[in-house]
Amino acid sequence: MNASRCNDSTIHDSTHPPSVFGAFARRAHLHELRIELAEDFDQIGLRGHAGVDVLIDTRHFIEAGRRWARAQGYLLREVETEADRIGTAKDMGGEIGVLSATQLAVLLRGGRDMTGENRIPTREAELFISLGAFSGIRTAELLRLEWRDIHDVRGVIEVGAHKSKTATRRLVPIHHVLAQWLARAPHHTGKVFSSQKAAVRVISYGKQMLGEWPDNALRHSYATYRLGETQDAPKVALELGNSPAVLFRNYRDLADINQARDWFSITPAEPANVIAMKKGVAA
């Protein structure tokens, strides 16, 4: 073991989101990392911008960094650090925040914001909201999504294992209403959203239009209305990358078939040409 390496155990850079952690990582010494530093991310930029998923991902990053540092000889294997005692971020439950079909229509089509000013969504916001509302893909997964993952003809969005929170590949059906919104977006190569801050901008827009933005609003809303539409928990769980037990516990009986029909009837005011899909895609 090279003692000088242990004394100079500085992480010089971090490209892992959220960027607020990178700011700390660039000047933090792993062997001096304090619990209070790692457990107060919500006080330095996460609160209001992301739910528990981001906090969990960040702590996983800390753990991965600690393991790497020990393997490389930057940390003594037999010495416990503060990072070893960081608690686990858990979603402790609580009321599920779900948007109404009326609220979604305002977000996608525009209208008067909380100050009375007329606003319309940016192309980025329109695409982000429609994908989240009609596919239920997690925010972190949306930000990793590439255009090649959206298979119009097959009628599915592929969430690869390396992009999925659960590290398991899944195919999310492109609902017929989502197909209409996707047809309005110019398809390019590379990532669907060029900036990790896309989610922050969308949440800001949502708060301006609605006054509040429930945690994981789009995913919770999709799960609620999709379950109300299909009455098929295993099917919806597969689409979401969850278990049927989670679906029943969190979303059962939150919406009926009529409310689901209202949600999945929000189409663009001027429908674009939609690529014909093979029979069997979500409807």
Whether this prediction's pTM lies above 0.75 is answered by no
Number of domains, the chain: 2
pLDDT at residue 129, as a whole number: 98
Same domain, 124 and 27: no
Same domain, 80 and 205: no
Q: Is residue 94 part of a domain?
A: no
CB 58 within 8 A of CB 20: no
Same domain, 131 and 253: yes
Same domain, 122 and 199: yes
Same domain, 174 and 250: yes
Q: What domain range is 41 assigned to?
A: 3-85
Q: Is residue 275 part of a domain?
A: no
Those residues whose C-beta lies under 8 Å from the C-beta of residue 212, and which sit 6 or more positions away, are none
Domain boundary among 85, 114, 137: 85
CB 208 within 8 A of CB 112: no
pLDDT at residue 57, as a whole number: 54
User: With the CA atoms of 157, 160, 164 and 169 taken in that order, what torsion angle do they form, in degrees rounded to the nearest 10?
Assistant: 90
pLDDT at residue 246, as a whole number: 86
Same domain, 158 and 216: yes
Q: Is residue 283 part of a domain?
A: no
Q: Encoding tokens for residue 55?
A: 């906090």
| Residue 154 belongs to domain with CATH number | 1.10.443.10
- What is the full per-residue pLDDT of the chain (283 aa) written as tens digits? 443 433 333 333 334 444 444 444 444 444 444 444 444 443 434 444 445 445 545 555 566 666 666 676 666 555 555 555 544 444 445 578 999 999 999 999 999 999 999 999 999 999 999 999 999 999 999 999 999 999 988 999 999 999 988 888 999 999 999 999 999 988 778 999 999 899 999 999 999 999 999 999 999 999 999 999 999 999 999 999 999 888 888 888 889 999 999 999 999 976 444 443 333 345 4
pLDDT at residue 234, as a whole number: 93
Q: Is residue 202 part of a domain?
A: yes
- The b-or-e profile of 253-275 (16+ CB within 10 A means b, else e) is ebbeeebbebbbebbeeeeeeee
Question: Residue 172 pairs with which residues in a beta bridge?
Answer: 157
Q: Is residue 211 part of a domain?
A: yes
pLDDT at residue 64, as a whole number: 65
